[in-house]
Structure 1
Amino acid sequence: MSDVVPDLEGFCGVVSARRGDQVLGEWSVGLADRTAGAPNTPETRFGLASGTKTFTALTTLSLIGDGVLRLDIRARELLENDLPLIADDVTIDHLLSHTSGIGDYLDEEIDALAPLSVPVQQLDSTPAYLPMLEGFPTKFPAGERFSYCNGGYVVLAIIAERVAGIPFADLVRKRVFEPAGMGASGFPRSDRLPPGTATGYKEDGRTNVFELPVVGSGDGGAHSTAGDLHRFWRALLAGRIVDPSLVALLTERVIDDAGDGLGYSRGVWLDDDDLIIVGGDHGVVAVSRHHPSTATTVTGLANVEVPTFARIRELMRAVKSDGVVPAE
């Protein structure tokens, strides 16, 4: 790694490269809190935006492993009278793979950064999202094609919370974060961020506190660190979070081409043999790539809106070509 240096121009956040128990390189740039003058460090927590969807998918699959859900169960059976415009043929698997065709409250095929239709401070629990999900007609029949759907992952969180009987954030903590040893990860309130958490900044210098839900749910809002994300990948593939059969469901290629040459599974993006968590929103960018055969993770977490995906892809390529040997 002596000659491998990431592109940090204009970056503000943390870039990390790890293999197994070894830190190959970590770079911290800019401020986590501009008012306090607090710098970003390798231990800083960052918002993951849609990177949260990986944990939502895994939580859902863990409930399937417990027998309280099935991939083929229809969402309508569990939603009862809520969200009546969700079609009868939409299953849990359609929601997981973004093939449900349901209308989306934040349709990225139209505007990925559109303002929310309800005040963000009202979105303080998963059930509080229901009014925001109402009134969007079906885009296409379930299973017809891939169409990235934020609302579908909130629906998964609503369903998971109902069948498990505990709040969604607690469910993710118990079923994902704790077994993975992700002690710095969680769903903090955006208006009460814990110490060591980066504030997200918009291009004009304002914070993102008025742009995002005050508490995240199934499609965004989890916070984590570069170290925790590496621990996640290792714990996942070692079978410490869910049974290997469920890991296979999380990581198998369901969609061959979901855009930009990437495949998609159920909450995980696929680029050749790399597994990817990715998210971006107002003042938030998160990318974590994992190469299973070498136990290598390259992660970029930013608290500004800066191109990150290509940087992390190039860094992973450089790490792979720098003599990284397969993990034992």
Structure 2
Amino acid sequence: MSHTSTRLRRGAVVVAATGMLVVPAAGGTAAAAPPSGAVTATEPPSPSKAEVRKLTPAVERQIDATVRRVMKEAKVPGVTVGIWMPEQGRYVKSYGVADKATRRPMDPDLNMRIGSETKTFTVTALLELVDKGAVSLDDPIGKYVSDVPNGDSITLRQLAGMRSGLFNYTEDDDFFKALTSDPQRPFTPQQLLDYSFKHPVLFPPGEKFSYCNTNLILLGLVVEEASGRHLGDYLKHNVIDPVGMPDTFLPVGNEFPAPRAQGYTDQTATGKVEDATDWNPSWAWAAGAMISDLEDLRAWARTVATGILPNGDRLISPATQKERLTTPPAGMPGAGYGLGIFDVQGWIGHNGSLPGYESLTVYLPSAETTLVVVLNTDIDHKGTEPSTLFGEAVTKIISPGNVFDLPAEPAAR
């Protein structure tokens, strides 16, 4: 599968937005988006019960050994893995270092950049506005943002579902040169769109799946236009605070509060590995700039996959959540993509990748099990993102019938 992170030129990785309630067929062209109109069902159908292994000391030792093996093979400086199972146990452990220079150890409490997991927040904000009647998923983007190629035909649903046909700005050579030559420079949303819009559209709207960060920049602008608030402010008050995520936010510039891990990348002007901790993530904005930590992501995993807040209230209505979890095939075996979310072999959620950092936050609804992985490098190992390597290795142990296997394919991260 591809990564769902805000990878630069290679494009986005389809991060695990697992757990849609219908596992899509392998491969092929993405199915057409679901029809518009009211959804009468009050809750999505329940999948069959997944088998998960209790986190006994023996299983935990197996996870320990597997994580260390992946770290060594993929040369990952530091990683934290969190697993939560009702009545089956809890596993939270950090490995390696948060800073290669000082050898400061990795720690579960560190702040991390979460890349394309940001998309799940931006789309959640959009879906809240749908529930409020402020926007419709079948509105054309041209209603909110001018001068978008095919803007009268591309719907908000197609943008959120990665089926717009727009060019991914992070794959533009001029953008890559601008960012890597001056990683501290700020970008405006319009500048990012300009890199995309100078390219012809790739296909007619809705024709197929193509992961594209441009889509989320546009949806961020829609949230601002429809709400009358800055995206970061709307997310804080309407999404982040209701969930109870005190360490999660959308930065304005390169602010990155301590405690944090240093991040290491080879997406540089020279191709050499550099410390990207203080890079300005404004180039990713609504597609990938957010910061969070392990415990906040634990709360988010279940909320985004179910639409239900930790206190039992609903963040998203059942009908709108059902639309989010309609995940047509994404051209990768066992994986589909809905509205800003993946379903990979029953695991629902997203991954994230931007220079220096990767993350994976997924939820297995039928077993009420959460998996969160955060690490401080985005350097691929044999063409596969390290977050995927950890996700696959851990789920082979804890949920052998639902393995998070995300084949690496060229797509925008």
1:13 and 2:92 are equivalent in the alignment? no
Does 62-71 or 309-318 show the bigger shift? Answer: 309-318
Q: Deviations over 1:194-244 (max 9, x none)?
A: 011223212444222576534752110111122211111233426232222
**1:96 and 1:39, CA in 2 relative to 1: closer, same or farther beyond 3 A?**
same
Distance (Å, rounded) in 2 between the aligned partners of 1:250 and 1:64 = 11
Distance (Å, rounded) in 2 between the aligned partners of 1:133 and 1:20 = 45
Q: 2:199 aligns with which of 136, 150, 155?
A: 136
**1:209 and 1:318, CA in 2 relative to 1: closer, same or farther beyond 3 A?**
closer
**1:238 and 1:78, CA in 2 relative to 1: closer, same or farther beyond 3 A?**
closer
Does 200-209 or 114-123 show the bigger shift? Answer: 114-123
User: TM-score, normalization: structure 1?
Assistant: 0.86
Are the counterparts in 2 of residues 239 and 247 from structure 1 also a CA contact under 8 Å? no
Corresponding residue SS for 2:219: helix
1:55 and 2:154 are equivalent in the alignment? no
Corresponding residue SS for 2:107: coil
**1:54 and 1:238, CA in 2 relative to 1: closer, same or farther beyond 3 A?**
closer
Give the AA of the match of 1:56: T
Q: Deviations over 1:134-186 (max 9, x none)?
A: 42321110011111111111111011111111111111222221111111111
Are the counterparts in 2 of residues 125 and 216 from structure 1 also a CA contact under 8 Å? no
Are the counterparts in 2 of residues 87 and 138 from structure 1 also a CA contact under 8 Å? no
1:98 and 2:177 are equivalent in the alignment? no
Give the AA of the match of 1:246: T
**1:286 and 1:191, CA in 2 relative to 1: closer, same or farther beyond 3 A?**
same
**1:227 and 1:22, CA in 2 relative to 1: closer, same or farther beyond 3 A?**
farther
Distance (Å, rounded) in 2 between the aligned partners of 1:91 and 1:185 = 29
Distance (Å, rounded) in 1 between the aligned partners of 2:182 and 2:345 = 40
Q: Deviations over 1:93-138 (max 9, x none)?
A: 110111100122124xx89x94456955443664564444442321
Name the counterpart of 2:319. 245
Name the counterpart of 1:299. 372
Distance (Å, rounded) in 2 between the aligned partners of 1:57 and 1:250 = 9
Are the counterparts in 2 of residues 16 and 226 from structure 1 also a CA contact under 8 Å? yes
1:285 and 2:358 are equivalent in the alignment? yes
Shift of 1:193: 1.4
Give the AA of the match of 1:64: V
Name the counterpart of 2:58. 3
Corresponding residue SS for 1:7: helix
Are the counterparts in 2 of residues 187 and 215 from structure 1 also a CA contact under 8 Å? no
Are the counterparts in 2 of residues 202 and 208 from structure 1 also a CA contact under 8 Å? yes
Name the counterpart of 1:148. 211
Q: 1:30 aligns with which of 90, 96, 120?
A: 96
**1:190 and 1:36, CA in 2 relative to 1: closer, same or farther beyond 3 A?**
farther
Give the AA of the match of 1:284: Y
Name the counterpart of 2:348. 275
Q: Structure 1: state its 5+ residue gaps.
A: 323-328
**1:239 and 1:295, CA in 2 relative to 1: closer, same or farther beyond 3 A?**
same
Distance (Å, rounded) in 2 between the aligned partners of 1:220 and 1:185 = 13
**1:289 and 1:20, CA in 2 relative to 1: closer, same or farther beyond 3 A?**
same
Shift of 1:23: 5.9
Greater length-normalized contact order (CA 8 Å, ≥ 6 residues apart): 2
Q: Deviations over 1:250-269 (max 9, x none)?
A: 2222x223325311111111
Give the AA of the match of 1:27: K
**1:299 and 1:84, CA in 2 relative to 1: closer, same or farther beyond 3 A?**
closer
Q: 1:265 aligns with which of 338, 341, 361?
A: 338
Shift of 1:288: 1.6
Q: Deviations over 1:69-93 (max 9, x none)?
A: 101100011113xx44344210101
Alignment of 1:118-129 (within 5 A): 120-123=183-186, 126=189, 129=192
Distance (Å, rounded) in 2 between the aligned partners of 1:86 and 1:21 = 51
1:73 and 2:142 are equivalent in the alignment? no
Distance (Å, rounded) in 2 between the aligned partners of 1:161 and 1:221 = 16
Give the AA of the match of 2:303: A
Q: Structure 2: state its 5+ residue gaps.
A: 1-54, 267-271, 310-314, 380-385, 402-413
Name the counterpart of 1:320. 399
Distance (Å, rounded) in 1 between the aligned partners of 2:244 and 2:87 = 14
Corresponding residue SS for 1:186: coil
**1:125 and 1:20, CA in 2 relative to 1: closer, same or farther beyond 3 A?**
farther
Give the AA of the match of 2:157: D
Give the AA of the match of 2:393: E
1:221 and 2:289 are equivalent in the alignment? yes
Runs of 4+ more than 6 Å apart: none
Give the AA of the match of 2:161: S
User: TM-score, normalization: structure 2?
Assistant: 0.69
